[in-house]
Structure 1
Amino acid sequence: MINRKLLVAAAAAIVAAGGGALAVVPALAATKTVTVKDNVFAPTALTVAKGTTVRWVWRGRAAHNVSVSRGPTRFHSPNKVRGSYSKQLGRAGTYAIHCTIHPGMKMTVKVR
């Protein structure tokens, strides 16, 4: 993980050094959390910027998974009862996500 203070200090040092140097500072990617409850994702719709990490956190009693049925890239988490699963979404588009154990359990993630 990038240390934000270190990144800011490095950028400031480059600018202070002058000499025509151009500082390019990468945007710090965000993390959004989705709760996996019994038979529902919360929230059921999410819009994020490219490069955002989405973290699904299990809070119910039943086993569930996170599976992309349609989208720019596909991924599938293991079946879980507790814990979390994270995926960095680097391709723009709409991801239709569901739990393969409970087909009515759906959500949409739009990546811009």
Structure 2
Amino acid sequence: MKKLVAAVAATALAAGALAIPAFAATKTVSVKDNLFAPKSITVSKGTTVKWVWKGKAPHNVKVTKGPVKFSSTTQTKGTFSKKLTKTGTYSILCTIHAPDMTMTIRVK
């Protein structure tokens, strides 16, 4: 009887694991006071990076070097998100506060 219960439980767990979708991770970066915080992050492939504007100065997000180029609009509040599906190193710059406002994202 114990073996039967264990077998049923194992089968249910395996079926449940296949039915539950994997949740993608999100990493948040603050955009404020002429800096990105943190300045460098490492994330897994498929992670969404979300930049959150804090403070009053306008900023943007632009990839200057990396496997995929993207950019946000210039804004003073709100958020910008990008799902990173290509591995590699991304160099990010706020073009308004260049060359000092930079960050690096490593996608593994």
TM range (shorter): 0.7 to 0.9
**1:55-94 pair list within 5 angstroms:** 55-94=50-89
Amino acid at match of 2:106: K
CA RMSD between the two structures: 2.0
Q: Which runs of 5+ in 2 are unaligned?
A: 1-11
Matched residue of 1:101: which SS?
helix
In 2, Cα distance between equivalents of 1:58 and 1:37 = 6
One of 3, 27, 30 as aligned partner of 1:35? 30
> Cα deviation per residue 1:41-86 (whole Å; 9 max; x = unaligned)?
0000000000000000000211000000000001000001000000
Counterpart position of 1:19: none
| 1:54 alignment partner, SS class | strand
CA drift of 1:40 comes to: 0.3
For structure 1, the residue ranges without an aligned partner over 5 or more in a row are 1-11, 17-22
| 1:27 shift after superposition | 2.9
Identity of aligned residues (%): 55
Partner Cα separation in structure 1 for residue 20 and residue 66 of structure 2:
29
Name the CA distance, whole Å, in 2 between partners of 1:34 and 1:15.
36
Q: If each structure's helix is expressed as a fraction of its own residues, which one has the higher value?
A: 2
Q: Please report the TM-score for the alignment, with normalisation by the length of structure 2.
A: 0.81
Alignment of structure 1 residues 10-21 onto 2, 5 Å:
12=12, 15=15
Query: Partners of 1:24 and 1:38 in 2: how far apart?
Result: 44
Hey, what's the Cα distance between the residues in 1 that align with 2:90 and 2:39? Answer: 12
Task: Tell which structure's C-alpha radius of gyration is larger.
Answer: 2
Deviations 1:15-52 (A, max 9, x none): 28xxxxxx375532100000001210000000000000
Q: Structure 1 length as normaliser, TM-score?
A: 0.78
Residue 109 (str. 1) matches residue 100 (str. 2): no
